[in-house]
Structure 1
């Protein structure tokens, strides 16, 4: 599947670059771990950002007007602080267009794993939307998920 030698797979497992469990002298590797190695996923920071933005979805679908207005206000306040020709200003402009497109377009970026979604989330206008206790719980949940998912066996 990987197109490499058995020894290379053993080395990947021993270095913790490929998750496995040992049964006797044999290593068992989950398909999803091989898929992750073949097409690396998000970095830890990108995954954390995605996790936080997924938490926003409930608010977005239950209070769309409030959520979109909060994002618009954050853009209005943040845009003058950016260089007009800078990347942050461009991302905020893209967010404005997304917000004008409605809930579905915003939701797609909040949960997307494509490069554009990752970049836009790094310049999110939804800062401050989650109450601090909720935000802390989401981050705690993310750490537990990440640590469990990325611990080498």
Structure 2
């Protein structure tokens, strides 16, 4: 039984990913696939599962995702203040860009904000294509202090180092000969 059309069970995610339920559970345990607990079951957003099927996010998109997930943490604590700051930024941007291409994404962000906190959290934390695109033009500038921003990016860098595989000696030799 599905709780929401956007939430998938581990088994449904495994079918979409063409993998085993165990592999999907491992992705969740390693923090590579976000999930929520509904009773005793893990539920995954369809957008997050589909993001694993598509090519990976670019470095910039991954940084934006991590930064916006940190903003989401602040949003959960004080949604009214964060929404007020974003709305103020949108108003300022409308004044700065009275016409042109900028209005398209300003209107899209305003629509998300008007939908309510759940829609905002979805865009802030999702790997879905529309969310990636919207985060490129985020109205949440200034929500994180420079210290918080640096901590988030340092944490991202640390996870990249942890996942990096050491290069075999013969491969390193070959690379150094070419350079």
2:100 to 72, 85, 92: 85
Unaligned ranges ≥5, structure 1:
1-30
Asked if 1:125 is matched to 2:139, the reply is yes
- Whole-angstrom distance in 2 between the partners of 1:57 and 1:38: 24
**How many equivalent pairs are there?**
119
Residue 38 of structure 1, CA deviation: 6.6
Query: Residues 75 and 40 (structure 1 numbering): CA distance in 2 closer, same or farther, change over 3 Å?
Result: same
1:48 to 47, 63, 66: 63
- Whole-angstrom distance in 2 between the partners of 1:49 and 1:65: 22
For 1:137, the equivalent position in structure 2 comes to: 151
Residue 83 of structure 1, CA deviation: 6.0
Unaligned ranges ≥5, structure 2:
1-25, 28-50, 168-179
Give 3-state SS (helix, strand or coil) of 1:40's partner.
coil
1:111 to 119, 125, 149: 125
- Give the TM-score of the pair, scaled to structure 1: 0.70
For 2:76, the equivalent position in structure 1 comes to: 61
Structure 1 ranges of 4+ moved more than 3 A? 36-39, 150-153
Asked if 1:102 is matched to 2:123, the reply is no
Query: Residues 37 and 121 (structure 1 numbering): CA distance in 2 closer, same or farther, change over 3 Å?
Result: closer
- Whole-angstrom distance in 1 between the partners of 2:73 and 2:53: 32
CA-atom RMSD, angstroms? 2.3
Query: Residues 152 and 116 (structure 1 numbering): CA distance in 2 closer, same or farther, change over 3 Å?
Result: farther
Q: Bigger relative contact order, structure 1 or 2, given CA contacts below 8 A and separation 6+?
A: 1
Query: Residues 152 and 74 (structure 1 numbering): CA distance in 2 closer, same or farther, change over 3 Å?
Result: farther
- Whole-angstrom distance in 1 between the partners of 2:105 and 2:165: 34
Give 3-state SS (helix, strand or coil) of 1:127's partner.
coil
